[in-house]
Structure 1
Amino acid sequence: MHVLFIGGTGNISAASVRLALQQGHTVTLLNRGKRPLEDYGIYGAESIVADIQDEAATRAALEDRHFDVVANFIAFKVSDIERDIRLFQGRCAQYIFISSASAYQKPLVQPIITESTPLKNPYWQYSRDKIACEDRCLHAYREQDFPITIVRPSLTYETVIPTAIGGWSDYTIIERMRQRRPVVVHGDGSSLWTLTHASDFAKGFVGLLGNQQALGEAFHITSDELLTWNQIYDAVGIAAGTGPVEKVHIPSSFIAKLEPRAEGSLLGDKAVSCLFDNTKIKRVVPGFQATTSFQAGIRQTLAWFEAKPERMQTGPACHQRLDRIIAAYQPCYDALRPLD
């Protein structure tokens, strides 16, 4: 099959590109060409340099080409979906929209998340936009026969450090751990979470390419490994060579008050336990199984960062944010501490 990836060098998408190539698919990447493909282990893919936000330039770059599958990893607004419908209606047999598992309603009414769990997130505009995109995709499927498939990743990592507070695309949280400075963990750290290595996500995703059972359907693709946030932070510390880290447990609502930009990610997602039922993806993609433990995966992630010094970017802003949260909560912590 000929697959067009819009994006393709991101934290989630690069592994899917690599696996699609390994399985013999013809792969074309459409992006701005700002990331060298070899930095992400991508060899043998065609590259089309264009900004998908420039519809006219994209149309010209694609000319009259048709694709078996178009997968957009960088669509965030309804306007992005409407543009893609204009670009690819009648020019692909399957269009895959990458949504987000953060769209699922939380707190949960049922303890296990399935694809039929309601979509609702009053805390995070990012998630509400993804929900609106899904609605537009489904309308296009029903009314225009646009061949959509919806995929909802949860916290997926390969080239990011997936801590809830601090971390992500820079290296500061690792520096902090190695300096033996405390880290912030939301709540008491006992809520359960699932982290998925991008190479495992790719197994399910590539299995959906050209899969007729996937048309008009939505799937989440996650690991079955469950960890507490305390275990997650300690696993990062162990990978960094420090062992279990010093944690300051602070209520999510308190953190959100101090850091409003964290409200959606915490209150609308990571503050509650999330257990995913992967029955549907396993039924449609027989043999799908996530096999990379977080302990193994986070070591691979740190190795990727450390392979090139320029990836190990740190800065004072993240340290200052964490120190400010800890300092603000310290009087509460002292008041709650048992008397000697």
Structure 2
Amino acid sequence: MVSPLAPEAATVAPRSILLVGGTGVISAAATERAAALGHRVTVLNRGQSAARPVPDGVEVLHADIRNRASVREALGTRGFDAVADFISYTPDQAAAAVDLFAGRTGQYVFISSASAYQKPPTRLPILESTPLKNPFWQYSRDKIACEEVLFAAYRERDFPVTVVRPSHTYDRTKIAMVGGWTDVHRMRAGLPVMVHGDGTSLWTLTHSKDFAKAFVGLLGRPQAVGESYTITSDEYLPWNQIYRLFARAAGVAEPELVHVASETIAAASPELGPNLLGDRSHSVVFDNTKIKALVPDYTATIPFADGAREIVAWFDANPASQVLNQDYMDLTDRLTTWARSGQRPAGG
């Protein structure tokens, strides 16, 4: 059940907000929240997502953010109190954003990633002051490089950047387990499910609607310029419990969880390796004190037990989204058979 808007929300002065993206997991929730609070919201993207349509009353501009000329044509001479960029991933894209939005906004919000924080972390909880270093995952290193470009522009050109680092943020369309729907299928079929490591590392999952409460609260805030913020839930769970919550939501009393070292999975699947070794295999607990100081009413109120039920219910209602990944089926069969036999996996 999603919490209603905070009672004081109606007193917030409306701001003009441009969201670059607007139909992804976190950007769609931010669009909905900002519009519900009465802000003047504009979304810039190439087209709408059927799974996450833009709310009524939100202005939609169509342009390809990778084509600066098309963006300038779409925006004309318009300016905004805040621009939030959800789809810049590389330093050249960050540099292009500086070129596009300098002088056009009082605040440019870059969505980075909590995976950029030091891996493995040397201390918990993770703070905004935790070093940014991830030798395992190129995605994270690119986000770090983006931040370096943007903070250099802040120092040298007074570019009004704010950096937000979300961790694993989900909505009803996103299954947190590595195998996605394939893992749900295996649970229901009574097949063993592969869990990386020993299943005891801690993980933080944040519902997109909770994330949006804090995120929209910092838009248009001049005191946030030049700063970085972590936005996550304060709930953290071991992976074993996350898998069991999905099983319970899927109507499975006790799934067979088979533990396989993350390094073994990475060796057998180069596609899965960087994310596992660079993020999921490490315990992550975050301190949200800084964002709560800026947005005092922020509290994440959706426990993942509710989130898991919402996700499975959505997939059950949308059979076309129940995609079975045969490669992952084969990988799971091979590695769980090896793990239970104690023998070296063929080809691993």
TM-score (norm 1): 0.92
1:105 maps to amino acid: Q
Deviates more, 1:153-162 or 1:47-56: 47-56
2:34 maps to amino acid: A
Offset, 1:233: 0.3
1:212-291 equivalence runs, <5 A: 212-291=222-301
Determine the C-alpha separation between the residues in 2 that align with 1:121 and 1:197: 25
1:7 maps to amino acid: G
Structure 2 equivalent of residue 337 of structure 1: none
Structure 1 equivalent of residue 312 of structure 2: 302
Offset, 1:310: 2.6
Determine the C-alpha separation between the residues in 2 that align with 1:240 and 1:319: 18
Task: State which of 138, 154, 157 in structure 2 corresponds to 1:144.
Answer: 157
Offset, 1:295: 0.5
Q: Percent identity?
A: 51
1:102 aligned to 2:115? Answer: yes
CA contact under 8 A between 2:166 and 2:232: conserved in structure 1?
yes
Gaps (5+ residues) in structure 1? Answer: 335-340
1:28 aligned to 2:28? Answer: no
Structure 2 equivalent of residue 85 of structure 1: 98
Gaps (5+ residues) in structure 2? Answer: 1-14
Determine the C-alpha separation between the residues in 1 that align with 2:137 and 2:87: 18
Structure 2 equivalent of residue 204 of structure 1: 214
Determine the C-alpha separation between the residues in 2 that align with 1:307 and 1:211: 40
Determine the C-alpha separation between the residues in 2 that align with 1:193 and 1:308: 27
Residues 173-203 of structure 1, C-alpha deviations (whole Å, 9 max, x = no match): 2222211211111111111111111111111
Residues 79-102 of structure 1, C-alpha deviations (whole Å, 9 max, x = no match): 111111111110011100000000
Offset, 1:40: 4.2
Evaluate the alpha carbon distance shift between residue 61 and residue 75 of structure 1 in structure 2; reply closer, same or farther with a 3 A threshold. same
CA contact under 8 A between 2:23 and 2:54: conserved in structure 1?
no
1:181 aligned to 2:195? Answer: no
Offset, 1:262: 2.0
Task: State which of 117, 141, 144 in structure 2 corresponds to 1:131.
Answer: 144
Offset, 1:106: 1.5
Offset, 1:330: 4.2
TM-score (norm 2): 0.90
Determine the C-alpha separation between the residues in 2 that align with 1:28 and 1:307: 31
Task: State which of 304, 315, 333 in structure 2 corresponds to 1:323.
Answer: 333
Residues 111-146 of structure 1, C-alpha deviations (whole Å, 9 max, x = no match): 210000000000000000000001111001111111
1:72 maps to amino acid: D
Counterpart secondary structure, 1:47: strand
CA RMSD, 1 decimal: 1.8
Offset, 1:251: 0.9
Structure 2 equivalent of residue 338 of structure 1: none
Evaluate the alpha carbon distance shift between residue 55 and residue 64 of structure 1 in structure 2; reply closer, same or farther with a 3 A threshold. same
Structure 1 equivalent of residue 70 of structure 2: 57
Structure 2 equivalent of residue 160 of structure 1: 174
CA contact under 8 A between 1:233 and 1:244: conserved in structure 2?
no
Task: State which of 11, 19, 38 in structure 2 corresponds to 1:5.
Answer: 19
Offset, 1:34: 4.4
Structure 2 equivalent of residue 66 of structure 1: 79
CA contact under 8 A between 1:235 and 1:244: conserved in structure 2?
no
